[in-house]
Amino acid sequence: MTADALPKLSISACTTWHSSFAEDLRLYRAAGIDGIGLWESKLPPGRDDESASRLRDSGLRATFCFPEVPSIIPGDTLFSQPRERHARLARMCAGIERLARFDPLRVICYAGPPGDNGPQMRAWVVESIREAALVAAAAGVRMAIEVLRPSRNGSLVSTVSQAVEMIDEIGATNIDVLVDTWHFWDDPGALADITRHADRIVGVQLADRRRDARGMMDRTLPGWGEAGIASIIRGLRAAPFTGWYEIEIFSDDGTFGSDYADSLWKMEPERLVSEARDAFRAVWAASGAVSA
């Protein structure tokens, strides 16, 4: 990549939460976006052949794609059902096989928090991701573990080093690491950790932190908040990281119980996509690159 070249940019489909899969394809392509992070939950049921054809025709690349169940540990808000870990593993594996039809860059999974089970939960997570990686390999796709900020119950994987350690313990060769600025922007050691393991990182998701953020579902576009996204990108480029960037925004409009008046999900989707594109180009330029 030359100094003045923009990197490949994707938008995660959760960013336009209320748009359909077909609408996402149209909006992202019209805005000049390169890829789409698919969410299995947005794919029309029983129409995967048609949807895969639509994706190919759009020219978008499926990037960091989320099965309906990406972890054996239920989330507090997202991915909360089913609750039982064996049922969740079965759903996760089925989701990997389904998403494989869309030729994803990576299918994403989580480790999650240990909760009250400690070492036993870690063993269960390692075992489940190992099984999921075998399913992914048979389907011809690669996976990535996303590094997550610790919740009130902690996190089994809250740094890139911890993700690499878990992947090595799993022993699979088809798992990489996905990072997200929302989860590491205030960690002073994060960029050094990323630099140390740059060859293991497949993508960087971008979301900024609003000043006085009201919760995990109160994110904003890169450069619109206080996380210093341009400085983070400067550090990533120096690492060097040369892979995909992806904008992933959660901005609750009441869907998950917090009706923020300034929710980005209340914005017209076409405007949100164009604002996201322009916000990325602005922080890229500010990071030291020259926008095309």
Which distant-in-sequence residues (6+ apart) come within 8 Å of 262 by Cβ?
A: none
Question: E strands within 16-173?
Answer: 35-37, 61-62, 64-65, 106-109, 143-146
Asked whether the predicted pLDDT for residue 291 surpasses 50, the reply is: no
Tell me how far apart the alpha carbons of residues 204 and 119 are, in angstroms, rounded to a whole number: 29
Span 161-181, average pLDDT: 98
Average pLDDT over residues 38-58: 98
What is the average pLDDT score of the chain? 95
Give the integer Cα–Cα distance in Å for 285 and 24: 26
User: Given pLDDT bands bounded at 50, 70 and 90, which one contains residue 169?
Assistant: very high
* Model confidence band, residue 4 (pLDDT cutoffs 50, 70, 90): low
pLDDT, tens only, 97-138: 999 999 999 999 999 999 888 899 999 999 999 999 999 999
CATH class label, 9-286? alpha beta
* Per-residue model confidence (pLDDT) at position 116: 80
Measured CA to CA, the distance from residue 144 to residue 107 in angstroms comes to: 6
Q: State the pLDDT at residue 180.
A: 98
One-letter amino acid at 49 equals D
State the pLDDT at residue 285. Answer: 97
Closest CA to 216 of 178, 185, 246, 258: 258
How far, in Å, CA of 149 to CA of 152, rounded? 10
Cis before 82? omega within 30? yes
Is pLDDT above 70 for 290?
Answer: no
DSSP state letters, 170-239 = HT-SSEEEEEEHHHHTT-TTHHHHHHHTGGGEEEEEE-EEPTT--STTBEE-TTSSSS-HHHHHHHHHHT
- Residue 117 pLDDT: 82
Residue 225 has pLDDT above 50, yes or no: yes
Question: What values do phi and psi take at 101, rounded to 5?
Answer: -70, -15
Question: Which residues, in sequence order, are CB contacts of 184 under 8 Å at separation 6+?
Answer: 147, 149, 159, 190, 194
Beta bridge partners, 116, equal none
